[in-house]
Chain A
Amino acid sequence: MSFEKSVSRLEEIVRELDRDDLDLDRALALFEEGIAHLRSANSALVQAEARVQLLVEAADGTFSLTDFGGQA
């Protein structure tokens, strides 16, 4: 799952946990789900490294990426 998705879901979970009418079972389930998202967000951060590629469009309209060997 992408960092963006993990973080968005986490924010939803926190908001829902703040509701008063939530029962404890549900709260615990949400918390567990939240912890899983935290883990995935963290691992996305650990592996993080920017890559630079070049977009290539073939004659038939298909796209591919190749490593960018420019000055950058």
Chain B
Amino acid sequence: MATPRNASTRSASYGAPPVERDLTPGASQESAISVHTLTTAAKDLVEGAFPPLWVRGEVSDFKAHRNGHWYFSLRDANAQMKCVVWSTQTRRIPASPDDGMQVLVRGQMTVWPVRGDLQFSVAAIEAEGDGLWRKALELTQRRLEADGLLDPARKRALPRYPRRIAVITSPDGAALHDIVKVARGRSPDVEVVIVPAKVQGDGAPEELVAMIERVGRWMDADLLIIGRGGGAREDLWAFNDERVARALAMCPIPTISGVGHEVDITICDLVADVRAATPSAAAELAIPARREMIAHVDALRGRLVTALARKRERSLGMLTLVRRRLGTAAVRVTERRRARLDATTGRLDALSPLATLERGYAVARGPDGATLRKRSQFATGEGFDLWVSDGVVRATTASTRVHPDGDGDRDLPKERA
């Protein structure tokens, strides 16, 4: 406050009437206040008069400044006001609004002393029909698509019998409980490895990314399930985060996402190799039931045995055939030989001297075994052998003569036993 002496001095110097000076700040020239004082006072007044409010209007002149703050006007048919979204707040808003968008903004009416503008400081924006959420999703989806990350050809097959399954989820959420319950219920020889992460709120996307990368570095799981139980759209939002989606796409092992309920589809669902409707469904897709495994092994046993039996039958069939052919060939060869043998035997028989003896002839043989054919070979009084059909007769020559009807000796040999 100015002192009376100062006031009088100053007024005297300007030559103003020296009467009844009002010393209330700003009430007189002497008590004039600074612009800053006034605008600051106005700011306090306005902020005191209005609690945080929801205001409805249409966005115009939207500008995203380099420094991260957003500026726009909110207006209706008759009025408009300047709005600002500080960069610390923009991170909580899914996407920037577009000009012409009908929105509800929540914030604080204030005065920005630097410019003396009445200004609305925005903390939240909701577009009609979920416009901003849809826009954010579409933008993210378009960027991922441009990089080929939504290509169905990228989808990897899940291992049929995973040995170790990594699960990224909240350590105290319903999703973890559901997944473990399914794993225990199906109970094959599987290890569920929990990789805890914050799944909603500030810092959730960063943690999810870090945990996906950790599982990737670990390289000791066959499959990754990422998910959380149901919740409000804002609660599931981390699973729509582009960074999370990209990390998931880069994961070196096959991935299943199971976020929220069946109706909730997130960007992670689009990027994962398999989308499961819920965390439980994700576990069911990942882990085969033990009875299915038993059935599969049984079927394989059946096929193995059948395959071998068939192979043996075929081999036996071939063997039988070969044996039969061999037999036939052998028989033919034998028969041919026998026929030849029989023919030879017949000829031999025909030539045998025994047959001649059978007919009543006899052969005389000398002491040296020579056949005696001529009368001259016999000497009277000497012995010789007479071969007949069943034996040998010892004989002595009595005399010799030619055949009675021949031209030689007329003497017939006399035999003596």
Q: Which residues does A use to contact B, with CB under 8 Å?
A: 2-4, 7, 10-11, 13-14, 17-18, 20, 22, 24, 27-28, 31, 34-35, 38, 41-42, 44-45, 47-55, 57, 61, 63, 65, 68, 70-72
> Contacts A49-B187, A55-B194, A65-B193 hold; do A4 and B304 have CB atoms under 8 A apart?
no
Q: Which residues does B use to contact A, with CB under 8 Å?
A: 159-163, 166, 171-172, 176-177, 180-181, 183-184, 186-196, 214-215, 217-218, 220, 287, 290, 293-294, 296-297, 300-301, 303-304, 307-308, 310-312, 314-315
On whether the beta carbons of B193 and A55 are closer than 8 Å, the reply is yes
CB distance from B251 to the nearest CB of A (A): 14
Contacting residue for B161 out of A2, A52, A57, CB 8 A: A2
Closest to A68 in B: B194
On whether the beta carbons of A50 and B304 are closer than 8 Å, the reply is no
> Contacts A31-B308, A45-B297, A53-B193 hold; do A3 and B220 have CB atoms under 8 A apart?
no
On whether the beta carbons of A61 and B215 are closer than 8 Å, the reply is no
On whether the beta carbons of B161 and A50 are closer than 8 Å, the reply is no
On whether the beta carbons of B214 and A55 are closer than 8 Å, the reply is yes
Q: Which chain A residues lie closer than 8 Å to B172 at the CB level?
A: 70-71
Query: Could you say which of A13, A44, A53, A72 has the most chain B C-beta atoms within 10 Å of its C-beta?
Result: A72
Q: Which chain A residues lie closer than 8 Å to B159 at the CB level?
A: 4
Closest to A44 in B: B189
On whether the beta carbons of B195 and A55 are closer than 8 Å, the reply is yes
CB distance from B346 to the nearest CB of A (A): 50
On whether the beta carbons of A3 and B293 are closer than 8 Å, the reply is yes
Q: Which chain B residues lie closer than 8 Å to A34 at the CB level?
A: 300, 304
> Contacts A31-B304, A41-B297 hold; do A51 and B191 have CB atoms under 8 A apart?
yes
CB distance from B222 to the nearest CB of A (A): 8
Per the bound structure, the CA–CA distance linking A70 and B161 in Å amounts to: 25
Per the bound structure, the CA–CA distance linking A3 and B183 in Å amounts to: 16
> With A4-B160, A50-B184, A54-B194 given, can you name 15 additional A-B contacts, CB distance below 8 Å?
A7-B161, A7-B296, A10-B297, A14-B303, A27-B308, A31-B307, A41-B297, A47-B189, A50-B192, A52-B183, A53-B193, A54-B193, A57-B217, A63-B217, A70-B176
On whether the beta carbons of A45 and B294 are closer than 8 Å, the reply is yes
Per the bound structure, the CA–CA distance linking A48 and B290 in Å amounts to: 8
Contacting residue for A53 out of B160, B171, B186, B191, CB 8 A: B191
> Contacts A50-B187, A53-B193 hold; do A72 and B176 have CB atoms under 8 A apart?
yes
Closest to B176 in A: A72
Per the bound structure, the CA–CA distance linking A4 and B188 in Å amounts to: 12
